Amino acid sequence: MEIIAIILFLSIFLLILYGYPVAFTLGGISIIYAVCFLDPASFSALPPRIMGVMSNYVLLAVPLFIFMGIMLEKSGIAESLLETMAILFGKVSGGLAISVVIVGALLAASTGIVGATVITMGLISLPTMLKKGYTPELATGTIAASGTLGQIIPPSVVLVLLGSVLNVSVGNLFAAALLPGFILVLFYIIYIFIFASRNPEKAPSVPAEEIAEFKADNFWPKVIKAFVLPLLLIVAVLGSIFAGLASPTEAAAVGAMGATIMTVVQGKFSYKVLTSVMRETTHLTSMVFIILLGATTFTFVFREMNGDEYLVQLIQNANLSSTAFLILVMVVVFIAGFFIDFIEIIFIIVPVVAPIFVAFGVDLIWIGVLLGLNLQISFLSPPFGFSLFYLKGVAPPQVTTQHLYKGIIPFIAIQLVLLIIVMSFPEVVYFFIPGD
């Protein structure tokens, strides 16, 4: 029976790689195996598990954060931030690219939605960067990497889903991811500054007359207006969580309302915008939850076949240390990220390996941050990195897929370096957790 459980896992993985729909593959193949190999009486335990997922209060944060991110995309705040940051860092080598990274970090802490951030910054900043003389590789790599910061900087949908699957506090997971997220932003900025200093012709500074023109017309009011609204939203969402005033789900509701108010203040709110945001939110939420229901069925069948116990015994008999097993999992997740989506990895691989980490006595908060960093790379890794698809869809014709692939390699290397640092120094993730 244990061997059949492993065959179930492998068959699902192969069918997804072949192109079958994830949700139906997870649920359908699991049911077929269950009918063939399990006692029919065991099926009575499946409906309560599915209802437990649907009534999970923590997962209510998913549609709320998605709504918040899409509504912020419509508000026009990203445009104001990018224009202002470009002038503030205009004299610095690579200042325009650095401003994109900082705006990406601010949007990540406000939204957590990768697609909206990458598309918005691609539409606004990519033509400007190319016009200013930036190489397509640096411009596209910076935008794609900055747009994915929302996967590790809270509030992050990835961290919400990981917290649910690992059965750990989402609030603590948010706090644990803060410092690694900030370090990643710092590494991006350092890389861009060094690259621009060595290759000034590939990342020129903003002309002095353009900076002077911007500063001549109500400079500081424009700066304050650009920063105040997103910073208020960040404080309202993350501040309420870390201060213990609200749970992540309640803070997500605050964020959704705050994003709507900001859109009204910016003069971009309308009935058409609201219906569009609600429709996109419903589509994305439905996709996540139908995959989650399929994953719940798979996990139930896999454990009924004692697949989790078999894997634990296998690892123990192989005399693998917890460190060796962690490295193995990180390598598998990294390779899987080249071919399948982060949601599929969370719901297929993570439930299988989580019991083994528990058996080793490894802290799952630390594991959650490591997985979050690793899954962030999957958005950038060719050939199926979603950020690359998003950016290519809005890029000018002269920007080729080859430019995207070449441009993203340094940023993937930076993320791998940070992943190794967090693996080597676990205390990094406990810096902002209350009581640690």
Which sequence spans correspond to the domains of the chain? 2-430
What is residue 111's predicted lDDT score, i.e. its pLDDT? 65
**Per-residue model confidence (pLDDT) at position 290:** 84
User: What pLDDT does 278 receive?
Assistant: 93
Per-residue pLDDT of the chain (436 residues; tens, 9 = 90+): 778 888 888 888 788 777 777 778 888 898 898 888 888 888 788 888 788 777 778 778 888 888 887 887 788 777 777 777 777 777 777 888 898 898 888 888 776 666 667 877 787 788 888 888 889 999 999 999 998 888 888 888 889 889 988 989 888 999 999 999 999 999 999 999 999 999 888 888 777 776 677 666 777 777 777 778 788 888 888 888 877 888 888 888 988 898 899 889 888 899 999 999 999 889 888 887 887 788 788 888 888 888 777 777 777 777 888 899 999 999 988 888 877 777 778 888 888 888 889 988 999 999 999 999 998 888 888 766 778 877 887 788 888 888 888 999 999 999 999 999 999 999 999 988 865 5
Beta strands in 248-302 (DSSP E): none
CA 344 – CA 361 distance, rounded (Å): 25
| 331/316 Cα distance (integer angstroms) | 19
Residues with Cβ within 8 Å of 228's Cβ and at least 6 positions away in sequence, in order, are none
The reported pLDDT for the residue numbered 252 is 85
Encoded amino acid at 157, one letter: V
Q: Which two tokens stand for residue 109?
A: 């802490």
d(CA 84, CA 219): 9
Q: 366 and 330 in contact (C-beta within 8 Å)?
A: no
Q: How many CA atoms lie within 13 A of 156 on its CB side?
A: 35
Reported as type and span, the H/E element at residue 224 is helix 219-234
207 vs 407: CA distance, rounded Å: 24
What does the pLDDT read at residue 408?
92
pLDDT of residue 180: 95
Residues whose CB falls within 8 Å of the CB of residue 329, separated by 6 or more in sequence, listed in order? 349, 353
DSSP string, 133-176: T--HHHHHHHHHHHHGGGGTSSS-HHHHHHHHHHT--HHHHHHH
Residue type, 256: A
